[in-house]
Structure 1
Amino acid sequence: MDSNWENFLKNLGSWEGTFTQVSTEGKILGSTPSILTLEGLEDNQLVRFRIRRFANNLSEQPTVDNAQEYRSLGKQAVFFDTGAFSKGSLQVAPFAEFGAEYGFVSGDRRSRLVQLFDKQGCFESQTLIREIRSGTDAKLRPDLRVKQLVGKWEGNAQTVFADWKEPETYSTNLEISEAGGSLVQQLSFGGRTISSTAKIDGNRLYFDESATPRQVLLLPDGISSNIPLQISHRQPFFVEAGWLLSDNERQRSIRSYNDKGEWISSTHVIEYRVG
């Protein structure tokens, strides 16, 4: 595995995109265009970040223009070999907002997702950021649909731990089927098998078998948002985003928290359809 900084550098470039607000039920609320630039300087020992957002189109003066320089990365940001990353709150605390951000990179495409929870731990809002490298003709992915996920998937996962002990890698197997208005999935990894069933409601998958209900929202650009509807600093949980890069390749990014509300690990999964 390359270093965290080397993986961060795989995001360098100028990226034209849109910031799209998405409701907690998965409805598109509105979008604004953007240009994000990550420029490597001093033999890539320094990275200059700049984000510009516009009211209507890129030819206007930006309504937001922020810049920052990086020589190192905070503990909360983990970058993987593909350039994919996750970052977010290090601790769930009473009466404090909680958030997580994920990014996926493939060639001239990036897709990012931000999930936010309010001070009571309720899922509050999310933002989808779809980006294309400036000067290229890369295309956005279609809106994600249940039928695109049905099948057998085999992959490899890598987990990086908050205490920076040696990362773990392991294989994964995921089987997804659809029947009678429900989605059934069976996930196997690290000697464990987890089975779950969700009710399908349009682009929303609702898992209510556990004490903490979860939902997966199927979003534009092949993105999925997997969250518990309520989080607590007294109960372990995970938050996740996925990106269907092609009909037969998918990546997922997971942030896990323990029963003290502490961030304990980030996992990146690359999986391929095999049936």
Structure 2
Amino acid sequence: MTKQWEYLLQNLGEWQGSFTRYSPQGKVLEDIQSVVSLAGLNNNQTIHQIVRRQGQEDLILEYSSVARSTLFFENGAFSQGSMQLAPFSEFGAELGLIHENRRLRLVELFDKNGKIASLTLIREHLAGTEAVENPPLQVDDLLGEWQGEAVTIYPDWRASTSYSTTLKLQLDSTGKLIQNTNFGERSITSTGTIQDAIILFDQNSQKQVQVLLLPNGASATFPLQAQLRQPLFLEVGWLITPTLRQRLIRNYDDKGAWISLTLITENRIHSHS
């Protein structure tokens, strides 16, 4: 548990950026300048956090422990959100990645009927450092073969698990996206239909998973409808350089309980030709 606090401290500093809210179809609903500062008090035993968003009242928080609904990785990447998908209650999570002087965070929210309602992309850099913005993500940026290392951590704090991953993305003759994923021993192939910045994967008529390509090399993955009694996952991806990508995945089981958080760091070993 003390390690979780140490990992949280990777996020100390003043983060300047913006909160951009999108519809599930990728339309910008709102774009607000922001400054989020996290300062350590009493020898970093307590954190004082101020969230300033243009035109809104400051949000001031102080805490000295990590909430049960939140988990951190060693590099400071984290996720906080619903512990449980339940009928007639709002559901969602924040997924945060960190690389050198930059953070990329994504909030995915569902309404009381389990329909995806809105997405907020938060792009930040440390005050006093250069604000580097990657180009908006395109399907072409992802084609090819990626090799990665995954670390999975658990809300019950049992030991983490690590394994290697591969991801192959290619277009078939009809322009559909074929995705082959290998997680350790497990292998999954899925087919997606591309429409502008949206990739729609149909597991079956009940279960549509959408990937939305966003600015700054980001991608958001979510079910269009969070179904009770079916496992689901929420994911943020970040193409940091043309050959380096991070993904963070928050997994729920078929009872709707949050069961794990996985961070994948992957390198492109072959681009499509």
Normalised by the length of structure 2, the TM-score is: 0.95
Q: Distance in 1 between matches of 2:151 and 2:250?
A: 12
Cα deviation digits, residues 194-250 of structure 1 (max 9, x gap): 000100000100111334011100001111110111112311111111111111111
RMSD of the alignment, in Å? 1.4
Are the aligned partners of 1:170 and 1:190 in contact in 2 as well (CA < 8 Å)? yes
Aligned to 2:26, the other structure's residue is in SS state coil
Q: Following TM superposition, by how much is the alpha carbon of 1:264 offset from its aligned partner in structure 2, in angstroms?
A: 0.7
DSSP-derived class of the 2:25 partner: coil
State TM-score, norm by structure 1: 0.94
**Correspondence for 1:102:** 95
* Equivalence for 1:8: 8
- The Cα of 1:30 is off from its aligned counterpart by 2.4
Distance 2:4 2:245 in 1: 22
Where does residue 36 of structure 2 map in the other structure?
36
2:28 maps to amino acid: I
Query: Distance between the aligned counterparts of 1:132 and 1:64, measured in 2?
Result: 22
Q: Percent identical across equivalent pairs? A: 47
Is 1:200–2:194 an aligned residue pair? yes
2: CA distance, partners of 1:2 / 1:187:
34
The one of 83, 90, 94 aligned to 1:90: 83
Q: Is 1:251 the equivalent of 2:241? A: no
Equivalent residues in 2 for 1:1-275, closer than 5 Å: 3-55=3-55, 63-179=56-172, 180-210=174-204, 211-275=206-270
5+ residue gaps in structure 1?
56-62
3-state secondary structure, aligned to 1:156: strand
Rounded to whole Å, the distance in 2 between the matches of 1:109 and 1:162 is 26
How many residue pairs match? The answer is 268
CA contact (8 A) 1:2 1:81 kept: no
Residue 89 of structure 2 aligns to a residue whose secondary structure is coil
- TM-fit CA distance, 1:2: 8.6
Asked if structure 2 preserves the Cα contact closer than 8 Å seen for 1:19 and 1:32, the reply is yes
**Matched AA of 1:193:** S
**Aligned partner of residue 8 in structure 2, secondary structure:** helix
What's the secondary structure of 1:9's corresponding residue?
helix
CA contact (8 A) 1:242 1:253 kept: yes
- Letter of the structure 2 residue corresponding to residue 205 of structure 1: I
Larger displacement relative to structure 2 (229-238 or 215-224): 229-238
Distance across 2 between alignment mates of 1:34 and 1:153: 33
Q: Which runs of 4+ in 1 moved over 6 A?
A: none
Contact 1:224/1:242 (8 A) holds in 2: yes
